[in-house]
Structure 1
Amino acid sequence: MKLKPLNDRVLVKRLEEEMVTKGGIIIPDSAKEKPMRGEVIAVGPGKVGDDGKRCKPAVEKGDKVLFNKYAGTEIKIEGEEHLMMREDDILAVIED
């Protein structure tokens, strides 16, 4: 299924966090928090400003991003969980 976000919406897939700490302790699934990092899967065309012009989004498909803990709406696409959020909910782009 293809999905194209509207306006300033962004589709993000969460990136899995490591299950073992630096000290070698394995963290069970029940104790793990949902990751706040993800990869941008799709981006809308951008927000329409007060002047009627469309503002280009700051993120692109493939960017690794950091977002708010409670950001977005969880949706399932082809059995995989994704988040649909506003571009404003993205805190930073992670550069490797």
Structure 2
Amino acid sequence: MAFKPLHDRVLVERVESEEKTSGGLIIPDSAKEKPAEGVIKAVGEGARKDNGELVAMSVKEGDRVLFGKWSGTEITLDGKEMLIMKESDIMGILS
């Protein structure tokens, strides 16, 4: 199923966190937090100003991003858990 976000929204797939700490301790699933890092899978065309002018998106497909812990709306597409969020919920792009 193809999905295209509207306006200034993006579709993000979470990146799973590490199973071990840097010291080698295994983290059980019950102690893991939802990762606040993901990869952009689709972007909308951008927001519009009051005069109708299009404001281009700062992110693109494939960008690895950080976002707020409680950002976005969780959905399931093609059996994968994804997030739909506004571009403004993204804190930055990881390089």
- TM-score (ref. length: structure 2): 0.98
1:83-94 equivalences under 5 Å are 83-94=83-94
The residue number in structure 2 matching 1:57 is 57
2:71 corresponding residue in structure 1: 71
Runs of 4+ in structure 1 deviating by more than 4 angstroms, as ranges, are none
Percent sequence identity is 53
- The structure whose residues are more often strand, as a share, is 2
Q: What is the SS of the residue equivalent to 2:55?
A: coil
Local SS of the residue matching 2:48: coil
Match of residue 23 from structure 2: 23
- Counterpart code for 1:62: G
Aligned residues: 95
> What's the TM-score once normalised by structure 1's chain length?
0.97
